[in-house]
Chain A
Amino acid sequence: MIPLAWYLIFSAALFCIGLFGVLARKNAIAILMGVELMLNAVMVNILAFWRVLYAPQANQNAFVFVAVIFAVAAAETAVGLALIISAYRRRDTVVASDLDTLKG
C-alpha cells in the first residue's frame, strides 16, 4: 500500500505550485487556476488523512469537509470569473495589477 507520506508530499508540492501561480501570474484567470490547484491539494490532504487515520473506524466526517470544499470551489470560481469578465468589459484588461482604481 501507499504510505501517507507520499500523499502529503504530493499535496504539499501541489499546494506550493498553486501558491506560486497565485503570486507570480499576471492574468487574473491564471491566478484563479492557481487557487484551484491549492484547493485540490487541500482535498487530497484531507482524504489522505481520512484514509489512514479514520477509515478503519468507519468515520466519514472528512467527506463532509471535502463536499463543502467542492461547493465553495464552485462558488468561488463562478463569482471570480464573473468579476473578471465584468472587469474585462469595463477596463479592457484581465491583468490583476492593472485593476488599480482603489490604489491610493
Chain B
Amino acid sequence: MIAVQILFILVALVTLASAVLVVSTRKLLHAALWLVLTLVGVAVLFAFLDVAFFAVAQVLVYVGAIAILIIFAAMLTRRILEDVGPQVNKGWGWAAVGAVGLFAGLVVILSTFNGFWAKPAALSAEAVDLATLGEALVSPQGYVIPFEVASILLVAAMVGALIVAVDRKGGKS
C-alpha cells in the first residue's frame, strides 16, 4: 500500500466519522461545525481526484458560504438549539436500517460494474485545463443553456429567499 492510499483512507475515515457526528450530535451548532470538517474532507478528496478547481470551489462555496449560512440559521433559531427532548424521530431505527440497507445494495450493485477496480490513468494537462471548461460553459455548441438556467435559478432563489425571509410586520419576536 502506497502513501497516497494511506492518506486517502485517513481522509475518508475522518470525513465519514464527522459526517456521522453531523447526523448524530444533539447540539445543532456542533453538528454545523462537524459539517464544516466533512466539507473540507470532501474538498481534500477533490484534490485527490486532480480537480483542483473544484477543491477550491468546494472550500469557497460550501465551507465559505453554505456552512456559514447554516451556522447563522442555527444561531437565529437559538431557543430550539438547546432542545432537551430527543433530536431524532421515533422511527430512527427504521431510518438506520434503510440507510444501511441502501449502502449494502449500492455496494453490491456497484461491485458488478466492470470497471469497479479500475485505476485512474495518468492525467494530461488539457484534461484539467480550466480554459476548456470556461469556453464550454459559454459556447452555444457547449453548455450555455444549462449555465444560464443555473444562473437564473440562483438569482430567482436569492430573490425568493429574501421575499420569504423578510419580516413584513416589523417583527413580533
Query: Do A and B originate from a single complex?
Result: yes
Determine chain A's interface SS by DSSP, over half rule.
helix
Known: A21-B22, A33-B35. A86 touches B16 (CB 8 A): no
Number of interchain pairs (Cβ within 8 Å): 267
Residues of B in contact with A, size category:
35 or more
Chain B residues within an 8 Å CB radius of A95? 80
Per the bound structure, the CA–CA distance linking A86 and B166 in Å amounts to 8
Contact A52 B118 (CB under 8 A): yes
A18 and B19 form a contact (CB under 8 A): yes
Using Cβ atoms and an 8 Å threshold, which residues of chain A touch B92? 23-24
- Sort chain A's interface into a size bin: 35 or more
The docked-state distance in angstroms from the alpha carbon of A51 to that of B121 is 8
Asked whether, in the complex, the Cβ of A66 is within 8 Å of the Cβ of B119, the reply is: no
Let me know if A88 and B76 touch, CB within 8 A.
Answer: yes
> CB distance B110 to A12 under 8 Å?
yes
What's the Cα separation between A7 and B16 when bound, in Å?
12
- Measured CB to CB, the nearest residue on chain B to A31 is B23
Option from A3, A12, A21, A68 in Cβ contact (under 8 Å) with B119: A3
Nearest chain A residue, comparing its CB with the CB of B76 = A85
Q: Is the CB of B66 within 8 A of A73?
A: yes
B32 to chain A: which residues have CB within 8 Å? 29, 33
Check A51–B49 contact: CB distance below 8 A.
yes
**Which residue of B has the minimal Cβ distance to A23?**
B95
Q: Say yes or no: A52 contacts B119, CB within 8 Å.
A: yes
Assembled-state Cα–Cα distance A34/B118 (Å): 30
> B89-111, CB under 8 A of A: which get 1 and which 0?
10110111011101100110011
Closest 4 CB pairs of A and B: A75-B157, A21-B23, A23-B95, A82-B161
- Beyond the given A4-B115, A4-B117, could you list 4 further A-B residue pairs with CB under 8 A, ordered by the A residue number? A13-B16, A19-B99, A67-B57, A92-B79
